[in-house]
């Protein structure tokens, strides 16, 4: 088990970055770390994107400028990646 001292501190940015990494796997942009295989799961990717969109709406006005920029950038990249993955299917 990993030493807790090696983990980054919990933060909004870490939460969004974790979701972004999961989305990259679901959109087939990086291999699944559990299987080593690249796979596209549009249903789950859409669920993650929709969840991040809800998070953006519910936190509006309560984020730092950096947090808002990160969330907006992740959502934009995820939506573009989703459309690209749809076109391949």
Q: Is residue 78 part of a domain?
A: no
Q: Is residue 77 part of a domain?
A: no
* Domain that residue 44 falls in: 13-32+39-71
pLDDT score of 6: 85
Distance separating alpha carbons of residues 28 and 53, to the nearest angstrom: 21
pLDDT tens digits, one per residue of 12-26: 999 999 999 999 999
Residue from 8, 9, 13, 11 nearest 70 by CA: 13
- Cβ atoms of residues 56 and 49 within 8 Å: no
| pTM of the complete model | 0.86
Q: Is residue 4 part of a domain?
A: no
Count up the domains in the chain and report the number. Answer: 1
- Cβ atoms of residues 26 and 48 within 8 Å: yes
Q: Is residue 67 part of a domain?
A: yes
Q: Is residue 17 part of a domain?
A: yes
Q: Is residue 84 part of a domain?
A: no
């Amino acid at each position: 088990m990993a030493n807790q001292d090696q983990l980054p501190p919990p933060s909004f940015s870490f939460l969004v970055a974790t979701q972004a990494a999961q989305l990259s796997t679901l959109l087939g942009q990086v291999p699944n770390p559990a299987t080593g295989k690249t796979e596209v799961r549009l249903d789950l990717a859409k669920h993650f994107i929709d969840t991040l969109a809800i998070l953006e709406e519910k936190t509006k006005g309560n984020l730092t400028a950096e947090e808002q920029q990160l969330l907006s950038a992740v959502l934009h990249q995820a939506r573009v990646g989703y459309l690209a993955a749809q076109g391949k299917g």
